[in-house]
Structure 1
Amino acid sequence: MGGARARGVVAGIYAITDARLMPPSVFLARAEAALRGGARLLQYRDKSNDTARRLAEARGLRALCTRYGALFVVNDDPALAQSVAAPALHVGEEDAPLDELRRGLGEEIVIGVSCYGSVERAQRAVAAGADYVAFGSFFPSSSKPLAPVVDLDVLRQARQALAVPIVAIGGITAANGGALVAAGADSLAIISALFAAPDVEAAARRCAALFKEY
């Protein structure tokens, strides 16, 4: 059943890497700081064509997540996910059909799907076997500045309509994330508020505290 693999696992702070904020010399150190601060998921997102570097970084993150008991997620690259035995993959709705991904990657892998601002799209993804769904951008985002801003009511509707974990993404900080948790988000996906911070671990702790307040 879609979602069973992700319940209790897709929750809390969901850190997403950004090569602009994490140069190779400090890449793993900054990722580990987020995990020390309480991130429970860590997604490797890198759209470059540097195959060797991407493979090395993914392997490093996979090992870190194992050490900290966090879920390691590969963004939009089934081949890389398979190469490093990633336990989770995140894709867009327009990517390969979920049943095809599972045939290639196995039944145990957690698969999340971006659904932007559409609960109907999320329902289709869950019916196809998605383990969790992500909505956003909820606030203006430096990572995706052209992304439309999604109304908070989408989370409330999704919470009523879906039984799988719900991730919110887009411009999220410790100052604005509480409203998303209160509206039904199980997890907050964060990039800049973590990795652009001078103290990544402290930033992660501030964001993780939101889940104790709501």
Structure 2
Amino acid sequence: MTVIKGLYAVSPEAEDSEQLLAKVSRVLDNGVAILQYRNKSANTVRRLRQASLLASLCKSRRVLFLINDDVTLARAVEADGVHLGKTDGSVADARAILGKNAIIGVSCYNDIALAEQAARDGASYIAFGAVYPSRTKPNAVAAPLSLFAEAKRLGLPSVAIGGITPDNAAEVVAAGASAIAVIGGLFDAPDPAAAARQMAALFD
């Protein structure tokens, strides 16, 4: 069984594929356990190229690679799995396309009932957030850290997302999160590699 634990990097939006690859490469070498490719662009050619490049990079670094929202893209680049939001289809449909061993993560926002449903549906992990105000999703609902202790009974890894930085990550891990998903707190840090090392060390 694949372990969902540690620093979970979420790629920043980027038009320049080579620049994106360079940014991600720097943090992957510094403790990232999981990378999610997140790009909301309608440019399917660019998204396929970027996802393919990142899939190869993650394979060479032995880092799990997931795709945000897009099951078809995940299959095309042979990603390890997909992360689903509320409107991205069912766990069952994603697993039928990606296979029984695929990692299927589900956004549960601030709702333990959604997490309970995801567990019944066979999700690989559940995600709660935003645990802190997020620049990436400023209108995201606030998810209390108490959710992570409450979710332990479900027997699934839980991922925290939203506003996590090297300054507050320890609090999230102490609350019981199995992994911390980070975008700005990693890629916008003055030294992304150092930020990655600091947050990854919380799981040692």
Q: TM-score, normalised by structure 1?
A: 0.91
Specify which of 87, 93, 99 is matched with residue 92 of structure 2: 99
1:69 aligns with 2:62: yes
Percent of paired sites with the same residue: 43
The count of corresponding residues between Structure 1 and Structure 2 is 204
Unaligned runs of 5+ in 2: none
Q: Distance in 2 between matches of 1:100 and 1:149?
A: 29
Which residue of the partner structure matches residue 16 of structure 1?
A: 10
Deviations 1:154-208, CA, capped at 9 Å, x for gaps: 111112x221111000000111111111111010000001111232211111111
Aligned partner of 1:56 among 49, 52, 71: 49
**Which segment is superposed worse, 162-171 or 92-101?**
92-101
How large is the RMSD of aligned CA atoms in angstroms? 1.4
Q: Could you tell me how far 1:95 is from its partner in structure 2?
A: 2.6
Q: Which runs of 5+ in 1 are unaligned?
A: none
**Which of 193, 209, 214 is residue 185 of structure 2 equivalent to?**
193
Offset of residue 23 of structure 1: 4.3
- How much does 1:88 deviate? 1.1
Pick 1 or 2: higher relative contact order, CA cutoff 8 A, min separation 6. 1
Aligned partner letter, 1:210: L
Conserved 8 A contact 1:37-1:200: no
- The TM-score normalised by the length of structure 2 is 0.95
Query: In structure 2, what is the Cα distance between the partners aligned to 1:94 and 1:23?
Result: 28
Distance in structure 2 (CA, Å) of the matches to 1:205 and 1:168:
18
Tell me which residue corresponds to 2:159: 167
d(CA) in 2 for partners of 1:177 and 1:146?
21
Matched, 1:84 2:101: no
Q: Deviations over 1:138-168 (max 9, x none)?
A: 0000000011221111111112x22111100
- Counterparts in 2 of 1:47 and 1:34: CA distance versus 1, 3 Å: same
Identify the residue that residue 105 of structure 2 maps to in structure 1.
112
Residue 19 of structure 1, CA deviation: 1.2
Whether 1:207 aligns to 2:199 is yes
Deviating 4+ runs (over 4 angstroms)? none
